[in-house]
Chain A
């Protein structure tokens, strides 16, 4: 590859997306940066398998998610407390702050099963088509569609966005994150 300068600039261009995807998958910025580093090294070492003219970002995302699912997800499960920590943050947050901010999307996101979170991020956040997402995740388009739709519903439940709440983004000041018992304030 002679145009490594050009390639580098394309990699740099893709970096914010890789990072945002990694952070959202891992739920942890430090781990996400490790994951992005590992992705870049792997990508660099097998650049010759990248077909010019195809989507570089999709190719990189494929490497990143494969690395995540083969290594990082396991590590995450090994940290036994992780889930408990997120749940406790979930249940404590509304009382403490009395409001829901954008940060809570990522907290709620962590409550989703890995495959649903991945599908939702690829399609709804990153803007890949269902077809591209299916290729990246190596599964059927129908599977991606159903994961995305289940993820959306679950997230709406977790964030307790009400029916007819067209202005949820403007109204989150009064929202409560966790479904279940309403938060009572003295």
Chain B
């Protein structure tokens, strides 16, 4: 494959990618960040009320230690 063709691919890829970078960020993503921030603020304000808000933020639970009863 000649280098010119490979360069052309790189340019097209970059152009396509840069176009995506200019797209507006979906509202739901901004919203999510705001929710995360808000729940963190709540957490900071009430230290002894440990983390029911954490549950909402944790989509997967597999890396949480599981306590087994014997």
Contact of B29 among A23, A36, A157 (CB under 8 A): A36
Closest residue on chain B to residue A151 by CB atoms = B9
B contact residues around A172 at 8 Å (CB): 12
- Whether a CB of chain A sits under 8 angstroms from the CB of B50 is no
Min Cβ gap A124→B in Å is: 5
Residues of chain A lying within 8 A (CB to CB) of residue B25:
12, 15-16, 19
Docked pose: A152 CA to B20 CA in angstroms: 20
Residues of A109-133 contacting chain B, CB below 8 A? 109, 120-121, 124-126
Contact B59 A8 (CB under 8 A): no
A165 within 8 A of B: yes
* Residue total for A at the interface (Cβ-Cβ under 8 A): 45
- Which secondary structure dominates where chain B touches chain A? helix
Q: What number of B residues sit within 8 Å (CB to CB) of A?
A: 35
Return 11 A-B CB contacts under 8 Å, by A number. Answer: A33-B29, A41-B57, A45-B58, A102-B15, A103-B16, A105-B15, A125-B14, A153-B6, A161-B9, A165-B5, A166-B4
Which chain B residues have a beta carbon within 8 Å of chain A's beta carbons? 1-2, 4-6, 8-17, 19-23, 25-26, 28-30, 32-33, 36-37, 40-41, 54, 57-59
Given A40-B29, A102-B12, A153-B1, output 20 extra A-B contacts at Cβ < 8 Å: A4-B40, A20-B17, A23-B20, A24-B17, A33-B29, A40-B32, A40-B33, A41-B36, A105-B13, A106-B16, A109-B13, A124-B14, A125-B17, A152-B1, A156-B8, A157-B1, A159-B12, A163-B4, A166-B4, A172-B12
